[in-house]
């Protein structure tokens, strides 16, 4: 029965493809009516990545552009607005570019990519070269743009000029769509040519958006609301809709009702609460929102795979460098606040929604704003002026934080080779007291996991990973994790070939701070499951068995 259901549009950002292939579509076309009622001359929508910005923009292009197929919208919400469809559907020339691919290691590389993007859009309008309404000089410019041979200085005006050629040909104002406008700025900042790119984008976009008599209106999307002073200087006709605004809040991402309907359609409604825990929790304006990328991927997994466990799909769709930078910059207070967030609590911070890229990492306070705007944190309740009560939205983002904390700590701890050697040697000598002292010293430097909503096994995995990373420092040791031994799988098994010494280490979470019980349970499990069999089979002469219990930033280590 499920195999007869519609295909899920995972990664599909083309509205026509989605509709012609009869894929499952969460109808967001009502945004067209709201946009026509509430638009400014230029409209900026900022949303985190993977929340449907590009598909929305392609939907706008398909609705407004002359020559597109109106039947693609039959039965959708916008089709009920007959007056809007009659007046606006397929009535405008449209320029649509996405700067998602405009990333380069150098300024020249990035400009070349933007030139190629503009060339592709010019080719989409290649009929203009035969227009009887354009001058020969204009057609010559168009051909240069199509052939990607414009001079570097000319490319800065290409967006504005293309809108003027379309307006002249059709005698109708143009709708301009620019997707992911801030990607070139992000990459420029990371690669050291930010100032050059700011100057270029200011002319490239500003010239097309500011007092452009050839456009009906423009829609721009991005992740961040970059300061108007740095990009859109003098652009006073800008309407900005961020994740703090109620207007348009339901159009990017899935609402709770939409997720319930999708899961029910595919016969997997039993997994609703799991989907909610993992992928819900975002608050756009006053609307509760799920990450659509995650829901689509999870729903697909539920349909076709025997392993129904949720995954952090978002972390695999892009880098999470901002979390790593945040952790690296964190002082003791901030680390304590991160621990509170992971535990399910909230922190109150002043949010600055409008920054320049050069300001992002100048202070830890600015990073709080970036984490909120990019979806790593969300708001709870109603903000008081600029004071926002922030929380980690869901289990997926919590897992991203935990993974980045672990990676940071692994790199951080390896810089302290002297203490690492002392810790390892204590285990090798059978000195549980010294091992406990050294491991505690490391735990005090990291960010502990004390989430009351996470089961003990999940917390054990974190401490297991931390200890495993520390002990793996010795490259002359054979260190294995979750290896089959005896009648089960031991947490950590270590063999020191030259010394014929082996170790069995079982890690427990000290529930209610009962460290003694945690260690005792670990040692009983080692004996009951005969974990030492793997070392005995290798004829290891000396075998140490360690029970390790951890709670927050404390640990206890006992040797059998």
Residues 6+ apart with CB under 8 A from 418: none
Query: What pLDDT band is residue 486 in, cutting at 50, 70 and 90?
Result: confident
Give the chain's length: 560
Residue 28: pLDDT above 50?
A: yes
Using 50, 70 and 90 to split pLDDT, how confident is the model at 549? Answer: very high
Give the H or E element holding residue 456. Answer: helix 456-471
The highest-level CATH class for domain 28-241 is: alpha beta
pLDDT per residue as tens digits for the range 178-234? 999 999 998 998 899 999 999 999 899 988 998 789 999 999 999 988 776 567 766
pLDDT band at 1 (very low <50, low <70, confident <90, very high): very low
Reported as a pLDDT band with limits 50, 70 and 90, residue 553 is confident
Percentage of the chain modeled with pLDDT above 70: 95
Average pLDDT, the chain: 91
Please report which residue ranges of 244-363 form alpha helices under DSSP H: 256-265, 272-279, 292-304, 321-329, 332-342
Q: Using CA atoms, how far apart are residues 352 and 364, in angstroms rounded to an integer?
A: 12
Instruction: Find the helix or strand (DSSP H, E) in which 158 lies.
Output: helix 158-170
* pTM given for the model: 0.88
Tens-digit pLDDT profile for residues 291-346: 999 999 999 999 888 668 899 998 765 567 888 889 989 998 999 999 999 989 99
Residue ranges of the alpha helices (H) in 25-106? Answer: 30-38, 53-64, 82-88
d(CA 229, CA 234): 8
Q: Is residue 493 within 8 Å of residue 534, measured between CB atoms?
A: yes
**Location of each CATH 3.40.50 domain in the chain:** 28-241
Element (H, E) at 533: helix 533-537
- And the tokens for 526? 């080692």
Token pair of 466 as six digits: 């931390």
Band of residue 29 on the pLDDT scale cut at 50, 70, 90: very high
Predicted local confidence at residue 228, as pLDDT: 63
C-alpha–C-alpha distance, residues 501 and 494, integer Å: 8
For residue 8, give both structure tokens: 């899920």
Say if CB 323 and CB 401 are below 8 A apart: yes
Q: pLDDT of 374-401, one tens digit each? A: 999 999 988 888 899 999 999 999 989 9
* Separation of CA 186 from chain center: 14
With contact defined as beta carbons under 8 Å apart, do 285 and 47 qualify? no
- The closest alpha carbon to 246, from 383, 151, 81, belongs to 383
pLDDT tops 80 at residue 152: no
Using CB atoms within 10 A of its CB, is residue 246 exposed (0-12), middle (13-18) or buried (19+)? exposed
């Amino acid at each position: 029965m499920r195999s007869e259901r519609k295909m899920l549009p995972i990664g599909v950002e083309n509205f026509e493809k989605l509709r012609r292939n009869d894929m499952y579509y969460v109808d967001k076309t009502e945004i067209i009516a709201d946009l026509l009622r509430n638009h400014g001359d230029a409209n900026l929508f900022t949303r985190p990545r993977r929340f449907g910005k590009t598909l929305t923009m392609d939907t706008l292009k398909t609705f407004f552009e002359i020559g597109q197929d109106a039947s693609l919208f039959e039965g959708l919400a916008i089709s009920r607005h007959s007056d809007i469809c009659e007046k606006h559907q397929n009535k405008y020339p449209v320029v649509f570019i996405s700067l998602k691919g405009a990333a380069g290691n150098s300024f020249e590389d990035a400009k070349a990519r933007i030139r190629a993007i503009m060339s592709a859009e010019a080719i989409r309008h290649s009929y203009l070269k035969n227009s009887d309404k354009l001058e020969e000089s204009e057609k010559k410019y168009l051909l240069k743009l199509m052939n990607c041979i414009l001079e570097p200085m000319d490319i800065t005006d290409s967006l504005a000029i293309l809108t003027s050629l379309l307006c002249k040909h059709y005698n109708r104002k143009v709708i301009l769509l620019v997707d992911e406008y801030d990607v070139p700025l992000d990459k420029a900042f990371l690669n050291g040519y930010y100032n050059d790119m700011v100057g270029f984008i200011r002319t490239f976009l500003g010239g097309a958006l500011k007092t452009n008599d050839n456009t009906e209106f423009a829609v721009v999307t991005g992740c961040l609301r970059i300061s108007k002073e740095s990009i859109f200087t003098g652009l006073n006709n800008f309407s900005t809709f961020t994740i703090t605004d109620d207007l348009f809040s339901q159009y990017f991402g899935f609402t709770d009702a939409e997720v319930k309907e999708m899961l029910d359609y595919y016969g997997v409604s039993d997994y609703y609460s799991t989907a909610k825990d993992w992928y819900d929790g975002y608050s756009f304006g006053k609307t509760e929102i799920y990450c659509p990328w995650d829901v689509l991927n999870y729903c697909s997994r539920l349909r076709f795979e025997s392993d129904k466990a949720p995954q952090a799909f978002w972390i695999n769709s892009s880098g999470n460098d901002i979390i790593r930078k945040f952790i690296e910059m964190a002082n003791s207070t901030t680390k304590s606040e991160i621990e509170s967030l992971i535990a399910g609590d909230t922190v109150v911070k002043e949010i600055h929604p409008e920054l320049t890229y050069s300001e992002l990492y100048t202070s830890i306070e600015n990073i709080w704003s970036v984490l909120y705007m990019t979806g790593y944190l969300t708001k709870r309740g109603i903000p008081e002026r600029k004071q926002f009560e922030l929380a980690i939205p869901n289990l997926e983002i919590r897992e991203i934080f935990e993974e980045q904390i672990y990676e940071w700590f692994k790199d951080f701890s390896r810089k302290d080779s002297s203490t690492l050697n002392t810790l390892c040697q204590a285990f090798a000598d059978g000195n549980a007291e010294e091992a406990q002292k050294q491991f505690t010293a490391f735990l005090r430097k990291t960010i502990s996991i004390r989430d009351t909503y996470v089961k003990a096994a999940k917390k054990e995995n974190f401490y297991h990973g931390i200890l495993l990373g520390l002990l793996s420092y010795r490259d002359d040791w054979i260190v294995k994790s979750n290896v089959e031994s005896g009648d089960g799988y031991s947490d950590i098994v270590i063999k020191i070939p030259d010394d014929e010494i082996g170790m069995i280490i079982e890690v427990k979470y000290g529930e209610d701070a009962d460290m003694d019980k945690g260690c005792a349970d670990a040692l009983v499990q080692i004996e009951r499951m005969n974990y030492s069999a793997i070392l005995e089979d290798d004829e290891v002469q000396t075998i140490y068995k360690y029970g390790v219990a951890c709670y927050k930033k404390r640990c206890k280590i006992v040797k059998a």
